[in-house]
Amino acid sequence: MLLGTQRVNDRGHLEIGGCDTAELAAQFGTPLYVMDEATIRANCQRYVTAFEKRYPGESLVTYAGKAFLVQAMARLVDEEGLSLDVAAGGELYTALTADFPAERILFHGNNKSDWEIRMGVQASVGRFVVDNFYELRRLDAMAGEAGRVQPILLRVTPGIDPHTHRRIRTGQEDTKFGINISDGAAMEAIQEALILPNIKLLGIHCHIGSQLLDTKSHEDAIDVMVEFLASIKAHTGVAVEELNIGGGLGVRYLESQNPPSYETFADIICGTLEKAFERHGVTPPRLLQEPGRALVAEAGTTLYTLGPIKKVNIVEDPGYRYYVSVDGGMSDNPRPQLYDSVYSAMVANRAGQPRDRVVTIAGKHCETDILIWDINIGDTDIGDILAVQTTGAYNHAMASNYNRFLRPTVVFVNEGQADVVYERENLDDVIKQDRIPVRLKK
């Protein structure tokens, strides 16, 4: 499963962005996150074009920064003309310090603190995505103090339960996110937002879940959201300007997975929207979306160095299992432990070899830290480089210092050049926030 610019070069090594992965591992060390810059840019352009060609009104694509965000990524997103979705003060600060235009920032979060709200208001972010009544009233007050009228989208819950892992479902009624449409609370919030003096209601927002491999949940949510647009007009006389349908399009973690292409996704979504607009008598609003994983996941590869290999007896066939240890694990990729996530991988310095041996890839943490169970990978030896595919989303973003590990380096690769965009932490970084009370000092 070669993704983006990946290929097997003449040395039999995996190559990404014109860079030999074995050489990258030697130069920068492992674990190492490798991000395929050309693929990210191509994905951004294709996604934007797919909807510009098909949607009857204006279409804006907003990159969901929670998937992967460093300052260099914010610069790339700006250069490609996308907006940026941030979900916390740290993400907002990263964007602002990278000179990302504040007017193209959407500020999410279900429990924004006062300092986060103040930062967003003072920066004049383009839209707050308001999650609840408390935030709506707090934002109105703080915008008034700043002498600003703050544009917002109201996050509503369409009551759609998508077919995905229970921990990444967000559109059902029983969720911490947004305000329910079905019980009338969302309409109350709309009516309140319209009369608050320091709030400008631009539209409504929903997000139903992540890693969706078909369009059924999006189609169901669209019908609910467009009906709600019509209801807003009927109850208030106001036709809101924007409809944000969130993100959620899935990617290939395994060769067997087959998510819709951007073009197929756009065909179905735009067709569903047009039918819903006609059915409910709604003029097409500005369409916003928030793809994150769909733009960066397949562009990321994590490199590890293989360590000890153990053969253990098991009850199941074939009666034994090979555990192959790597020099990282759940601190650089917690998703297998959190979401039962599955991955593809290859031995990067033997990328062309037959995959006729099944092994289990084990992390080095003091846990049952398994990255990949029972994968056909072929021959392995200590010192080989393992390349785990599709790690561009929610890997670096969710990395931790568990067991006081060092967060890995991230490099952008493009046309044979590798640039560090996040430096590997050192041991002093790990302890720099520690403080020893005087009574404990030796």
Structure tokens at 7: 């290929």
Catalytic residue among 19, 44, 270, 366: 366
CB of 164 closer than 8 Å to CB of 211: yes
d(Cα 362, Cα 316) in Å, to the nearest integer? 19
Alpha-carbon dihedral 187, 105, 93, 399, rounded to 10 degrees: 80
d(Cα 282, Cα 16) in Å, to the nearest integer? 46
Give the SS3 label for residue 302. strand
* 366 among known catalytic residues: yes
**How wide is the angle at C-alpha 92 spanned by C-alphas 89 and 98, nearest 5°?**
140
ω before 31 within 30° of 0 (cis)?
A: yes
**How wide is the angle at C-alpha 421 spanned by C-alphas 415 and 426, nearest 5°?**
130
Structure tokens at 362: 């084990």
> 135-170 as b/e, with b when 16 or more CB fall inside 10 Å?
bbebbbebbbeeeeebbbbbbbbbbbbbebeeebbb
Structure tokens at 62: 């907003």
- Per-residue CA distances from 157 to 32, 78, 400 (Å): 38, 30, 31
CB of 423 closer than 8 Å to CB of 409: yes
Residue 135 corresponds to which amino acid? Answer: E
Structure tokens at 275: 């039918």
Sheet of 19-20: strands edge to edge? Answer: 7-8, 14-16, 19-20
Q: How many helices (H) and strands (E) does the chain have?
A: 12, 21
Structure tokens at 312: 């253990």
Residue 269 CB neighbour total at 10 angstroms: 23
- Per-residue CA distances from 292 to 65, 194, 253, 296, 327 (Å): 7, 30, 15, 7, 28
Catalytic residues: 366
